[in-house]
Amino acid sequence: MKTICFYFQIHQPYRLKRYRFFNIGRDHYYYDDYSNEDIMQQIAARSFVPANRMLLDLIRSSKGKFRVAISVSGVALDQMEVYAPEVIDGLKELSKTGAVEFLAETYSHSLASLADSVEFQNQVQMQTQKVKLLFDQKPTVLRNTEMIFSDDIAEMAYNMGYSKMISEGAKLILSWRSPNYVYTSEVQPNMKLLLRNSQFSDDISLRFSDCTWKEYPLTADKYISWIDATSPQEEVFNIFMNYETFGNLQPSHSGIFEFMRALPQFAFDRGISFATPSEIMESHEPVGTVSVPNTISWSDEERDLSRWLGNKLQKSAFKTLYEISERVRLTNDRRLKMDWQYLQSSDHFYYMSTKHFYDGSMHNKFSPYQSPYDAFNNYMNVLSDFIDRVKAQYPDSVDNEELNSLLTTIHNQEREIKKLQAELKKVLTGNEEKLVEKRQRKRN
């Protein structure tokens, strides 16, 4: 039986305010609060809130047979808590249905997996804790930022305790094979993989309202018929897309909400079901392995990292940022740690991309800057001030070897403190029990 796996990504970065060279050392607040609030509230009203309502209606009307997965970055959740709490309320309602699975990802929607394995692990832990706190779910499936994946990342994720991931079904790793199966990592056979079907995903997220597309208009019946017409051996159809597809990337007047509301019933009529990523990977056996020696993503035709690390500006900023990661981990300064998270968002590097800037394409639509060079200068000014603040606590005179030694000492002390606290709790509990017994003997 054919099964559709819907996964939706939710992320919004903290955009930086105009930060000039002369602000360095004087102004330590970096964010454009007006833009962040305005953009979040607009997207919430156009997309997130009605999309939450739509999914909830579909789940209830199908008695839980319609099932989806959602991944939300920590920085997006931070903004929603302040600017659009109604979105979180809606996501909580979806979680309570038992038909929505929340996935793990990096807290900052960062590129940490490419530079710092410790930071990568810390961010995934932070995001999963936030998901547990808000939605009472412990994610078991990992989705890295922008579906970035490689053999090395598979190893890192497995060592972090994950045995299930989702990524892009790029032709350069699948060749003639179909993405419509469960696979495993060649370097880590215990790591199961679900790979995005780019054609079926992009038909909705990119082409739905394109009147020049030969298949326009796309109807739910037509879409399901395409899936039904595939080979009987192809059982899993991974439709992964941005949640903003509903109402923002594809405006409501395009009929995107009506399309989605009609789709489940057409699927059920043809015997096609819906399942979450963890359900599919638990119920389907892998058909083969995939080798990914070179890192892939779900961006652009190349499915590579060139959108974020394709030019010298991006690489320079990226290198400068992660050179101070060990020092940041030493600090207990909450403000520094918060800035560290927000400055890692991959969006800052995306804004520096020159890949398609001059043709006026998608880059201009999402970037708050007039040019990639403005984005680079603004970010580096902010980063310079941030680095000065970090070095004020942990100066360059302390080399990396000393930092590693200090980190090890701190971690050992933390473990010892936790051990002593557990022993103390055990002793106190024992004393309380003895005191209760003594009081009962006196009464008797």
Task: Tell me which residues are annotated as active site.
Answer: 146
Whether omega for the bond prior to residue 286 falls within 30 degrees of 0, making it cis, is: no
Q: Are 183 and 222 in contact (CB under 8 A)?
A: no
**346 close to 146: Cβ distance less than 8 angstroms:** yes
What's the DSSP call for residue 45? I
Is residue 189 exposed (0-12), middle (13-18) or buried (19+ Cβ within 10 Å)?
Answer: exposed
Question: What are 5's strand-pairing partners?
Answer: 238
d(CA 322, CA 316): 10
Cα–Cα distance between 122 and 86 in angstroms, integer? 28
Q: What is the DSSP letter of 46?
A: I
The residues pairing with 8 across neighbouring beta strands, listed in sequence order, are 70, 241
Tracing tokens 């309380």 back to the chain, one arrives at 432
The one-letter code for the residue type at 131 is V
Cβ atoms within 10 A of the Cβ of 193, count? 26
From residue 410, give the alpha-carbon distance in Å to each of 329, 373, 389, 393: 11, 40, 21, 16
- Minimal CA–CA distance to 292: which of 180, 116, 108, 144? 144
What is the 8-class DSSP label of residue 296?
B
**How far apart, in Å, are the Cα atoms of 370 and each of 115, 308, 353?**
28, 17, 12
Could you tell me whether strands 182-185 and 192-196 are parallel, antiparallel, or unpaired per DSSP bridges?
antiparallel
d(CA 103, CA 140): 7
Q: What angle do CA 44, 201, 157 make, to 5 degrees?
A: 85
What is the three-class DSSP state of 378? helix
DSSP 216: P
CB atoms near residue 366 (< 10 Å): 10
Alpha-carbon distances of 352 from 36, 146, 259, 378, 383, rounded to whole Å: 19, 16, 35, 10, 14
Distance from chain centroid for Cα 315: 22
Other CB atoms within a 10 A radius of the CB of residue 1 amount to 7
Q: For strands 250-251 and 246-247, give the pairing.
A: parallel
